[in-house]
Each structure stands twice: as structure tokens, then as C-alpha cells.
Amino acid sequence: MSRVRVLVGTRKGAFICESDGARRDWRIAGPHFAGWEIYHMKASPVNPERIYASQSSAWFGQVIQRSDDGGASWQAAGNDFAYDGAPGAPGAPGAPGEAGLHQTYDGTLIPWVFKRVWHLEPSLSCADTVYAGVEDAALFVSRDAGAGWQEISGLRRHTTGADWAPGAGGMCLHTILIDPLDEARMFVAISAAGAFRSEDGGASWRPINQGLRSEHIPDPKAEVGHCVHRLALHPSRPSTLFMQKHWDVMRSDDAGDNWHEVSGNLPTDFGFCIDVHAHEPETIYVVPIKSDQMHFPLDGKLQVFRSRTGGNDWEALTNGLPQQDCYVNVLRDAMAVDRLDECGIYFGTTGGQVYVSADAGDHWQAIAQNLPAVLSVEVQTLP
Amino acid sequence: MTVRVVLPAALRDLAGIAGEVQVEPRGAVTRAAVLDAIEQDYPMLRGTIRDRHSLKRRPFVRFFACEQDLSQRPDDELLPGAVADGAEPFLVVGAIAGG
């Protein structure tokens, strides 16, 4: 019988939750790396026992951990994330050999400084290759299981690089999607620069923000500057992208060349996470949040919204979720889906709850109630 | 010359260390030499106490010994004799920050 393994990153350590395919009874192991922030953990699709974890601390910096036994034991891998030159075209600010300068909130230029890894995306074809999205925004790759890291500098060297600016959470590259039909095609998203696409394995990139409209920047339709919170795709249709932007839920059917809004009847279209049903490419999930100032659900009710039409028509899913006095947030990397026949949906909250629905969102139960604030949730479907 | 070092709990966990560690710095017993020796013996600690490239102390890390805060002292300054001869430990401390 199939089983699932849920990888939960929190503000104070990592937890691994396991269940059989029924997804009713759960065993929770952890905390691993107690006291450290675990921004993200993700397993290799090639070798499911190989798990990468981003462990960080304001005191002691970044550590990358690797497990080769499904999270039972870990070893520290490499943590040398050195930028490869200055952003933007030749002549951009920044001396040769330095990481250069980028915009900050008040329009001044500040140095590009590595702070932490937000997201780890293992290769679809090689267990030793893993990509890292980092703050200050850049894309790195390791081809030796995390021991050494090299910047894929074609992204930051895009002519707009020096114009990127941080969002409230920092200037982070938080989303990495690899096209399963063509691994040379990748999508990334940066707060608050926007979405970018490469067709050549990262050598070159182009902004894909046409159709986004962000009222909080001087030119609401600018080429870059949009606070994209999360991208998602279904593996069978990698040219259809879904986006939870700061405000607005968006959709593109041409790999990001053009976007249109699909917020439809959502009660609020601010939010962080978005994901796609494992077997229904037009079924998508978001967790609406009241506003960018409030960062909690509407009316104290935790509601997942599902659209079976690829957006616009949304239904609230509440069965098993708290419907009063709930003021948690669900962060951008804290939703995932399994691949069992009856697709399971998972999300974690800043209140330390991890919820699962074993029936595509119709009913929910808590896997854990009292963990530290959840930063990320990933799910493995195992034989 | 054996120097005793006390690391903060988070770094002891990371390095799989229980209690104090003893390191053998090369040459004069300076802070740089002690940190070099720590990183040689425990490579997973590279980048966690000081920047890998600039070798600057991370902002929330402090260095104490013999009831003195040595955090702002030059890297190549000799550590107190009591540290050099093993009578007193060199303390790497995670600063109290964040309330």
C-alpha cells in the first residue's frame, strides 16, 4: 500500500510526518535541527530517500543538510553561496568580482548580500543535482549533492537585475519550477521582482510579467517589480502557470508570456500559497488572506478555496478547519499535494498546525496542532 | 598548544560535539588561529562563526575569555595567556538578541 511522508519546515526545526495511504493516523518525528529555522525541505524525485533541507539562523547563518535515508539521519553539506559578479548588464553598479548593488525600499542602492536559502528544488533527473533559491535573490545549483554551490548568474545578470527590490519578507527567490517535459525550461519567482523564465537551463532569462498589475509600484504594469508570492503548474501541462501574487490570483496559458486574473469570486485575492491537484490540471487551491497588512484569514475562519475550472469560480472548503477565532497565516511554501489516487492536499500554518485532506479538500484533519510556526510543507508519495 | 573552546549549543549540535572541544592552533594563539583550527577539525562549522570569505565575525556571534569581551579585538592579536595554556576556555557565544 502506498504511503506518504510530509516534510515540515518550521521556525524552530524540522518535522517529518508519515502515514499510510489512508492518511488518518500519523507518526511525527522531530524536531530535527531543533532551534534552527528550516525554510524548506524537499526530496529528490529520482531517489526519494535523498532529502535536502535548508537550515538557517540569524546567529549562525546558512547550513544545507542532506539525508540519504528518508530523514532518519542527516549530514551537513556545503554552505558556500558566493555570488558570481554584479547584476545587470556590463557597466552596472558594483566593482568587478563583487556581488554588486540593488535597489532598496527607499530607492537607494545597497550591496547584494547572501542571507539564506528559501527554497530547494531537486533535479527531476539526477539525485545529486539540486537548485537553491536564495535571499538576496539569486539562483544557485549544486551538482554534487549539496557539497558545492555555483550561482546561475544569467538570472541576476539580466538587464533588470539592478532594479530588483525587496518585498517585506526580503528580496528572496522563493519559487523554482522545472518543466518536466523539458528540463532546460525553468521558471522562478522573486519577491519583489516578478517571474522569470529560462529556456536554456538557466544561461539566459526573460521576465514573464506581462498582464500583471501591481498598484503598489509606480508603474503598475512594469516589466519587473511585482511581488509574486508563488507559482504552480501541473506536470502534464507545464505551459499553464498559476500565480498567487501579493494581490490577485493569475493564470497564464503560454508559459508566462501573458497573464490574466482568475481571482473571480474569491472573498479576497491576497494570499501566499497556490497549488494544483495531482490529477486534475484545472483544479487549483489557494488560502485567501484578509490583506497585506493583516496576514490572517477573513473573519477568523480558516478556509481553503478550490477552483475546478482553473480559476474564477471558487468554492470554500471548511469541513474540519477552524471557523472561529483563527488568525494564522499560510506561507508561500506551506502547501503541497500528494499523488495518491485520491489526491491529498496539505498545508501548514504560522500557528503550528498542519492539515491534510485525503479527499481533495472536502474534509480536513490536523496532522499536528502545536508545532512551531510552519514555513514550508512538502509531500512525498512513496510505494 | 591545546586550547579549550566552548561553542554555543546550536553549533555543538551541528558539529555533533558534547561539552568543550580542544583544538591545536598553528603558531601563535590568536583568535584567527583558534577559529582556523576549529574549522579544520569541524568543517561543518565553516561560515557559521565567521564569514567564509571575508573572515569577519558574524554579527550575532561574540568571543569571550577570562571575563573579557574580545569580540572587537583584532583577529591576529594574541589571546590571553590563560587561554593559550589551557587554563581558561575560549568562548564562542551566540549574542542575546530578539528578546
Q: Check residue A91 and give its pLDDT.
A: 54
Q: Check residue A21 and give its pLDDT.
A: 96
Q: Which residues in chain A have their CB less than 8 angstroms from residue B58's CB?
A: 59-61
Mean model confidence pLDDT for chain B: 95
**Structural domain that includes position B54:** 3-94
Q: Which residues in chain A have their CB less than 8 angstroms from residue B11's CB?
A: 60
> Nearest CB to B48: which of A34, A35, A61?
A61
The interface residues of chain A toward chain B in range 18-47, judged by CB-CB distance below 8 A, are 33-36
As a whole number, mean pLDDT of residues B13-19 equals 95
Q: Check residue A93 and give its pLDDT.
A: 54
Positions in chain A whose pLDDT score sits under 50: none
Question: Closest-CA residue in chain B for A36?
Answer: B10
CB contact at 8 A, A41 and A14: yes
Q: Which residues in chain B have their CB less than 8 angstroms from residue A57's CB?
A: 10
Q: How many domains does chain B have?
A: 1
CB contact at 8 A, A256 and A278: no
In a domain, B75, yes or no: yes
Alpha carbon distance A298, A91 (integer Å): 48
According to the 3-state scheme, what is the secondary structure of A246-306? CECEEEECCCCCCCEECCCCCCCCECCCEEECCCCCCCEEECCECCCCCCCCHHHCCCEEE
As a whole number, mean pLDDT of residues B32-46 equals 98
Residue A161 three-state SS = helix
Which residue, among B41, B60, B71, B92, would best test binding to A if mutated, counting the most A CBs under 10 Å from its CB? Answer: B60
- On the question of a cis peptide bond just before residue A192, with omega within 30 degrees of 0, the verdict is yes
In a domain, B17, yes or no: yes
Given CB atoms, is B94 within the 8 Å cutoff of chain A? yes
Q: Which residues contact A263 (CB under 8 A, 6 or more apart)?
A: A248, A249, A269, A311, A312
Q: Check residue B99 and give its pLDDT.
A: 52
Given CB atoms, is B8 within the 8 Å cutoff of chain A? yes
> Nearest CB to B47: which of A36, A59, A79?
A79
pLDDT higher at B21 or A84: B21
Vertex A42, ends A38 and A46: CA angle to 5°? 160
Alpha carbon distance A66, A49 (integer Å): 10
- The reported pTM is 0.96
Given CB atoms, is A63 within the 8 Å cutoff of chain B? yes
Q: A61 and B47: CB-CB below 8 Å?
A: yes
Q: Check residue B58 and give its pLDDT.
A: 96
Alpha carbon distance B40, B45 (integer Å): 9
> Nearest CB to B48: which of A35, A60, A82?
A60
Q: What ipTM was reported for this prediction?
A: 0.94
Q: How far is A259 from chain B, CA to nearest CA, in Å?
A: 41
In a domain, B99, yes or no: no
CATH number at residue B61: 3.10.20.30
Alpha carbon distance A48, A378 (integer Å): 12
Q: B46 and A79: CB-CB below 8 Å?
A: yes
Q: Which residues in chain A have their CB less than 8 angstroms from residue B35's CB?
A: none
Q: How far is A71 from chain B, CA to nearest CA, in Å?
A: 16
As a whole number, mean pLDDT of residues B38-65 equals 96
